[in-house]
Chain A
Amino acid sequence: MSEINTQKFEPGTHPDMSPPVTSVGVLGWLHENLFSNVFNSILTFVGIYLVYTVFAPLIEWAFINADWVGASENRDDWSRDDCTSGGACWVFVNVRFQQFMYGFYPTEEIWRVSLSGLVLALTLAWLMLPKLPYKGYAAAFGLLIFPIIVFFLMGGGVFGLEPVETSIWGGLSLTLILALVGMVAALPLGIILALGRRSDMPIVRALCTAFIELWRGVPLITVLFMSSVMLPLFLPEGANFDKLLRALIGISLFQSAYMAEVVRSGLQAIPNGQYEAADALGLSYWKKMLFVILPQALKLVIPGIVNTFSELFKDTTLVLIIGLFDLLAMVQAAFADPKWLGFAIEGYVFTAFVFWIFCFGMSRYSMSLERKLHTGHKR
């Protein structure tokens, strides 16, 4: 500030100059955001102190004083006695890890689940890494062929694969199946419902509105109960179809109602001029929606879609009440085991961490997607 530039320029010849040092770079950022005035500086120090008091004991518990492995060579001998350091007992999670991931899936067949997971990871990587080509094929594979592969690979009964009942599928793999099927089904269904609710045709509009309001008005637990307890009562004897399938349908329909309202909010945000311009060019209703309206509307509601997705992902834990053993159910079953009584905290922290990883991943991906789809300034 001390140096005052007194140099004068002829009008029209003033050169571009660099901004003062205190407003750019690390120093500028610190000054601007943390120490811009006395009050702000005090808040900064209080904030640092609070973060320290919360996180220091947490880190001590989870990492520094934690036990990770048992003393014995043989994993089956590991027990609660191996936890002596006073911190978190990750030995418990370690011992039960296979069940947390695969449920009661037979140990010698576990490779089938792992292979499905690997293919899933590769497909997702292909879709998400911007450098890789043929995204359309990857999406088609992921949506059409991959579910069939997983169905036969995990269910078995073909190509000499041992049949494995869905009732013993479980753990994280079951959670992922529920969440992914729910997401893949709920988004297109939600789009159709949203378009229907804004349709000019009164009957279509009424049906879509009724569907959305019905499913949004009931708790997911009720839906799951209905699908597993009530539905069989109405079906003829012996026509009992798979419990997992029923849960999947229930979750998909339930979430599609929420998705419909998210998509509708996006449709409403598109200015009328876009509809008119598409009409004036002679685009039919579906082409107008597909090429002009939906790409813009869906981009606008990416945060809402991700919100619904992460909600869906966590709501899958409710299938516990109809006797499906997702990740949370497996963890709860594990710390109910008399051998490991008293490790509920470790179990819940581990579960929370796994869910957080997935939800955080979705959130980051959606942010990069938003940046990628940003095309210049908003008017």
Chain B
Amino acid sequence: MTDTANATSKQPIVELKNVHKWYGDFHVLKDINLDVAKSERIVICGPSGSGKSTLIRCINRLEEHQKGQIIVDGIELTNDVKNIDTIRREVGMCFQHFNLFPHLTVLENCCLAPIWVRKVPRAEAEAAAMHYLEKVKIPDQAHKYPGQLSGGQQQRVAIARSLCMNPRIMLFDEPTSALDPEMIKEVLDTMVELAETGMTMLCVTHEMGFAKTVADKVIFMDGGEVIESNNPHEFFDNPQHHRTQLFLSQILQH
């Protein structure tokens, strides 16, 4: 057991090999190769339509890739429903529009999947949910409905909801893009704290400050390709590709 554990710790936890994807005739992802080590924090940025959301949505099979290999936690994503279910249990995801379940309270949102997917007893699931709600600093909202919370609070609930499944990997799909500036900070703070616990994270985001402080690697995508991939220091101070330079100059102007 320890042998395999050691072996896998060196092995990347997420592996993409020559991944291609098409929407109809439109080639969205072109030959993507990406290795994510355990506890690595990766920020993916790029202009809209560059395929960055599609890329991370392929990792938990919200989108299907048509060519290449995606291996998550040692399991290859194929059409096998069992594999997909196993991977989805290990991979948490936060969305731009939070996608909380509006008919359930915050606590019920957090407990639903642990109870019905992981078969955790209700009391235990609720205790775990309260633990994570405290982590994201909104235990007092547990019995409210999502519609009664602010955007930032909703996104923090969404993070807590994902964490309740004890995922090994967290995906963030532009988690702050739909938020007011005041709320962006509270969500980013939560994500920074999460990063400090050693969670493997892949974030699609335009928050360059977050990328600079938290990321181990920044990936720049354009036109469905990975243009540049580097550590944040090099990426921001010494971008290699002219497309990256243009992008950075545009978003860092203000």
Contacts and interface: CB of A to CB of B under 8 A. Distances in A.
A28 B99 CA distance: 41
Interface in B118-168: 144-148, 158, 161-162, 165
Contacts of A292: 101, 112
Contacts of A282: 85, 88-89, 113, 117, 165
Contacts of B51: none
Contacts of B60: 279-280
Interface string A122-147: 00000000000000000000000000
B85 A273 contact: no
B103 interface: yes
B28 interface: no
A340 B85 CA distance: 71
B102 A376 contact: yes
A26 B162 CA distance: 50
Contacts of B165: 281-282
B62 A280 contact: yes
Nearest to A276: B62
Interface string B94-110: 01010111110000000
A373 B60 CA distance: 32
A85 to B, nearest CB: 56
A283 B117 contact: yes
Nearest to B144: A376
B147 A284 contact: no
A274 interface: yes
A375 B145 contact: yes
Contact of A281 (B88, B97, B103, B144): B88
Contacts of A376: 102, 144-148
Given A274-B99, A280-B60, A379 B147 contact: yes
Nearest to A292: B101
Contact of A280 (B88, B112, B148): B88
A287 B88 contact: no
A373 B103 contact: yes
Given A273-B95, A281-B88, A282-B85, A375 B113 contact: no
A276 B99 CA distance: 8
B147 A281 contact: no
Contacts of B144: 376
Contacts of A295: 103
Nearest to A281: B113
Contacts of B16: none
Nearest to B164: A281
Given A282-B89, A282-B113, A283-B113, A375 B102 contact: yes
Contacts of A273: 95, 97, 99
Interface string A291-327: 1100110010000000000000000000000000000
Contacts of B95: 273, 276-277, 280
A375 B62 contact: no
A291 B112 contact: yes
A296 B91 CA distance: 25
B147 A296 contact: no
A377 interface: yes
B147 A375 contact: yes
Nearest to B92: A280
A283 B117 CA distance: 6
Nearest to A280: B93
Contacts of A287: 116-117
Contacts of A364: none
B62 to A, nearest CB: 5
A108 B131 CA distance: 66
Contacts of A296: 101-103
Interface string A352-379: 0000000000000000000001011111
A295 B103 CA distance: 7
Contact of B99 (A277, A291, A375, A378): A277
Nearest to A272: B99
Given A287-B116, A291-B112, A373-B103, A281 B161 contact: yes
Contacts of B148: 376-377
Contacts of B99: 271, 273-274, 276-277
B163 to A, nearest CB: 11
A295 B91 CA distance: 25
The 9 A-B residue pairs with the shortest CB-CB distance, nearest first, are A376-B147, A277-B99, A273-B99, A281-B113, A282-B88, A375-B145, A280-B93, A282-B89, A376-B145
26 contacts: A273-B97, A273-B99, A277-B101, A277-B158, A279-B60, A280-B88, A280-B91, A280-B95, A281-B112, A281-B161, A281-B165, A282-B89, A282-B165, A283-B112, A283-B113, A287-B117, A291-B112, A373-B103, A375-B103, A375-B146, A375-B147, A376-B102, A376-B144, A377-B147, A379-B97, A379-B147
Interface of A: 271, 273-274, 276-284, 287, 291-292, 295-296, 299, 373, 375-379
